[in-house]
Amino acid sequence: MTGSGALRTIGVEEELMLVGHDGAPVPRAQAVLDSAEPGDGPLEPELMEEQIETATPPHATIEEVAASIRAGRAGAQAAADRHDARIAALGTSPLPFDGTTVGKLRYLSARKEFGLTAREQLTSGCHVHVSVADDAEGVAVLDRIGPWLAPLLALSANSPYWMGVDSGYSSFRSQVWARWPTAGPTRLFGTPEAYHAAVDGLVATGTILDQGMVYFDARLSATYPTVEIRVADVCLSADTATLLAALARGLVETAARAADSPPPDAPVEILRTAHWRAGRSGLAGDLVDPRTWRPAPAHDVVGALVDHVRDALVDSGDLDTVTELLGNHWAGGDAAARQRAWALEADGDLGVVALRAADATLA
């Protein structure tokens, strides 16, 4: 709830891969975007020609968010259909690829400056924007949600394959993304002035191109009055993306309510380790428990996350939805496990995995 008593709005951005009928990534983003029609919804380019991005409008109810996520995926597929391509909500491509950088000056500059990091950056994430009153509230939120971001990554983990092989990770996207110099968790900022000074200082190093390349796990949006939580893989199913959005709002609301209390003492090196553990194990093993900073079963840590935000979920009317979606998620298995099961059924044919992911994207 905001100070006015209204629900905080949520917006969801999803990066989606474009694949051909063999499951391999295809560089058709510009063509898809050029021929997009108003009914396809807002579509944007990303760094690579093999992917596009959808974005929902800001919504106050989780039902509206869920409907917009599905509509965005359907619209993206309608646009891709005109160019004999399919969209697939995959954090990384199961098949090897030669990435094609979008022909915009900023992206070409990034490719030149960052070399292989940029050339191999065909990864897809899910970014959740949650409204905040102002930068002061936003920074108070950033200082308090860090310990709980790794469980969100574990819930979304959807990228076990890299360049045609099983990486051994549930989210190898998180490993590839960590190559960028500003990616990952952050220290406590305390004030908006300290936050903006940190961002300005990073740009002043000359290492990154601009503020848009400040890739913190969570940051103040430079465009909207929101906190942008960027830690997750793109979710295989629209239901998981909806679950992620509801939990993200719960985290922001819970943190805002605690703004007058000291933030948790969570060293960046511990947060980074917890993030790595979540990407490695997903929901299949232990996670680092934010209550103790010791290993605990993923089921217990995710349960602790829900308990942490329970009051906010009750007040927003999201608790029943989260309970149902989370129960379905546990019953169906996480996306990384599903991809591996599909590969086993297809005798290791990773093209089949990509195509089944495309089916699940619109299911």
Q: Domains along the chain? A: 10-358 (3.30.590.20)
Q: Are strands 165-166 and 218-220 parallel, antiparallel or unpaired?
A: unpaired
Q: What Cα–Cα distance (Å) separates residue 275 from each residue in 220, 230, 264, 271, 334?
A: 20, 12, 17, 6, 17
The distance of Cα 90 from the centroid of its chain, to the nearest Å, equals 11
> How many helical (H) and strand (E) elements, i.e. helices and strands, does the chain have?
15, 11
What's the pLDDT at 3? 52
CA nearest neighbour of 92 among 18, 172, 20:
172
Global model pTM greater than 0.95: yes
Q: What Cα–Cα distance (Å) separates residue 119 from each residue in 106, 144, 147?
A: 14, 34, 31
**Phi, psi of 19, deg, nearest 5:** -125, 155
What's the pLDDT at 4? 57
pLDDT in 10s for each residue of the chain, 363 residues: 665 579 999 999 999 999 999 999 999 999 999 999 999 999 999 999 999 999 999 999 999 999 999 999 999 999 999 999 999 999 999 999 999 999 999 999 999 999 999 999 999 999 999 999 999 999 999 999 999 999 999 999 999 999 999 999 999 999 999 999 999 999 999 999 999 999 999 999 999 999 999 999 999 999 999 999 999 999 999 999 999 999 999 999 999 999 999 999 899 999 999 999 999 999 999 999 999 999 999 999 999 999 999 999 999 999 999 999 999 999 998 999 999 999 999 999 999 999 999 999 999
Angle between helices 238-257 and 62-81 (to 10 degrees): 140
Query: Are 133 and 3 a contacting pair, CB within 8 Å?
Result: yes
Residues whose CB falls within 8 Å of the CB of residue 266, separated by 6 or more in sequence, listed in order:
146, 147, 290, 293
Task: Give dist(CA 169, CA 279) in Å, integer.
Answer: 6
CA nearest neighbour of 162 among 212, 97, 100, 113:
97
What's the pLDDT at 176? 98
DSSP 8-state secondary structure symbol assigned to residue 207: S
Q: Are strands 125-131 and 161-162 parallel, antiparallel or unpaired?
A: unpaired
